[in-house]
Structure 1
Amino acid sequence: MKKIVEILADREQLVARSHEILLAKLAEAVQTRGQFTLALAGGGTPKPLYEALAGDDLPTDKIHIFWGDERYVPPDHPDSNQNMARQAWLDRVDFPEGNLHPMPTGAGDPAADAERHDAELRSFFGVAPGEVPSLDVILLGMGDDAHTASLFPRTEALQVCDRLVTVGDKDGQPRLTFTIPLLNKARCVLFLVAGESKRSALAQVFAPEADADAYPSRYIRPEGELWWLLDEAAGKSIDH
């Protein structure tokens, strides 16, 4: 694993830097593999990145979009990560609908929808049961409790190693989430973390030793590159 930590002056510079990295990874992937696979994150921090991407002239026919996690709500719900990304980027450009691979949330059964999406991923990437595919870039955020995707502290989803997608639990509310093995198989994981409220959790994530079950972002150690892009407010006192 190659770990890179950058502390940017503010959110605006954090977004600009993530935009720069993403465009470079996209160009590299299209040139070497003919397509670019990207998993999006929810939350307020990456939204300006998506809005910036909407202004770029991108080879959308070669880009496949996934989501690292999703709230178990309809796709047009205000809390939907898919809905946010569509409004900020995907519906504003000529994106082939077949290149968008949202997590299904319509079965009324989160476990069934997780299993369905697991099968969709295996089919798209052409991997057999037991194999884990490599996405080019997975964008992640981090909560004040050090959760990432929908992998929350001391929840069952942290222990799931035999699937690509599982059900996360946020205070009794189900969510669909990529599992740790799928996140860690990525060619590049890009954390975007902003705000002073993240500082204490980051200290535990970056500490030489701490309980990963209590601070799930510690579990993210991809085979490829691990980027932490932090704004000054979040990363001020981080020893990296």
Structure 2
Amino acid sequence: MTNERRVLVHPDKGALAGSVAARFITKMLDILDDQPVAHVVLTGGSMAGAVLASVAASPARTSIDWSRVHFWWGDERWVPAGDSERNDRVADEALLDALELPSGNVHRFAASDAGLTLDEAAEAYSRELADHGEGAEAPAFDITFLGVGPDGHIASLFPHRSGIQVADRSVIAVRNSPKPPPERLSLTRPVINASQRIWLVLAGADKASALGLALAGASRDEVPVAGIKGRRRTVFFVDSDAAAEVPEQLIARDY
């Protein structure tokens, strides 16, 4: 089993989204050829939506038995169900609504109008993860998608906040987030790092500094993405603007 970090550079956002979508379809076919079900973690943001929309637009998506795929989220905003701020709404509109998935395959964080407190919602998601963990606190996710903020945050684990250090829980309630909305739910770093493959998708010049610092060995407390590494492989899919500060020797020429 290999454990690699690679940076794959694409000329622009469109090429980036299309390439990641094509690789996702190919990898899902490989995974489902080897095991009965797959677990995928989704993220929010414009690039995440673009990747999922590219999957939906691909004729090759019909080759996947989506009834064998479970979808989770790395984090969610504490807003009402269906709110445009929610990460699951982005995923629904871009791809999930088109797949006609069994309801049990889509594992959403609770919404703020679900009748739970923020802490109760974190505990509920922790239980749901454990229910599918086969003895572990969460599934060993086959592919975890992550975005990266200009400050280096991933999921809702922010610099100089305690969330990135939490190791005794699978899910945390986030309050006073430096990025609105202030209340959120997030997977913790150990659960993310237990993923078989972590795919980080970054675009734009504002992400260049965070990516460069992460690859240079910055502290995870200063740049949370620096503390992220999957069990088998960690791939940074980036456009040319986001790659501006990546050392040439770290850029992969193939996958």
The TM-score by the shorter chain falls in which range?
A: over 0.9
Seq. identity, %: 28
Q: Does 1:139 align with 2:141?
A: no
How far apart, in 2, do the equivalents of 1:93 and 1:87 lie?
A: 11
Deviates more, 1:131-140 or 1:141-150: 131-140
Q: What displacement does 1:107 show?
A: 3.6
One-letter identity of the residue aligned with 1:233? D
How far apart, in 2, do the equivalents of 1:134 and 1:26 lie?
A: 15
Aligned residues: 237
Using the size of structure 2 for normalisation, the TM-score is: 0.88
Residue 130 of structure 2 corresponds to which residue in structure 1? 122
User: CA deviation digits over 1:28-63, x for unaligned, max 9?
Assistant: 221111112111010001112111222321311111
* Pick aligned residue for 1:230 from 212, 226, 238: 238
Answer whether contact 2:38 2:69 (CA < 8 A) is retained: yes
Aligned pairs for 1:87-98 (under 5 A) are 87-98=93-104
SS at match of 1:236: coil
SS at match of 2:132: helix
User: CA deviation digits over 1:168-208, x for unaligned, max 9?
Assistant: 3413812111110011011100000000111112121111x
Question: Unaligned 5+ residue runs, structure 1?
Answer: none
Q: What displacement does 1:132 show?
A: 4.8
Residue 253 of structure 2 corresponds to which residue in structure 1? none
SS at match of 1:125: coil
How far apart, in 1, do the equivalents of 2:95 and 2:39 lie?
A: 16
How far apart, in 2, do the equivalents of 1:227 and 1:65 lie?
A: 20
Residue 223 of structure 2 corresponds to which residue in structure 1? 215
Q: What displacement does 1:154 show?
A: 1.3
* Pick aligned residue for 2:194 from 185, 196, 204: 185
Answer whether contact 1:155 1:168 (CA < 8 A) is retained: no
* Pick aligned residue for 2:107 from 101, 110, 113: 101
Q: Does 1:44 align with 2:46?
A: yes
Residue 150 of structure 1 corresponds to which residue in structure 2? 156
Question: Unaligned 5+ residue runs, structure 2?
Answer: 251-255
- CA gap 1:47/1:132 in 2 versus in 1, 3 angstroms: closer
How far apart, in 2, do the equivalents of 1:126 and 1:107 lie?
A: 29
- CA gap 1:72/1:210 in 2 versus in 1, 3 angstroms: same
One-letter identity of the residue aligned with 1:74? P
Q: Does 1:28 align with 2:30?
A: yes
How far apart, in 2, do the equivalents of 1:237 and 1:99 lie?
A: 39
How far apart, in 1, do the equivalents of 2:14 and 2:80 lie?
A: 31
Q: Does 1:65 align with 2:71?
A: yes
How far apart, in 2, do the equivalents of 1:173 and 1:107 lie?
A: 19
Residue 202 of structure 1 corresponds to which residue in structure 2? 211
Residue 5 of structure 2 corresponds to which residue in structure 1? 3
How far apart, in 2, do the equivalents of 1:167 and 1:25 lie?
A: 32
One-letter identity of the residue aligned with 1:29? I
Q: What displacement does 1:125 show?
A: 2.2
Answer whether contact 1:152 1:168 (CA < 8 A) is retained: no
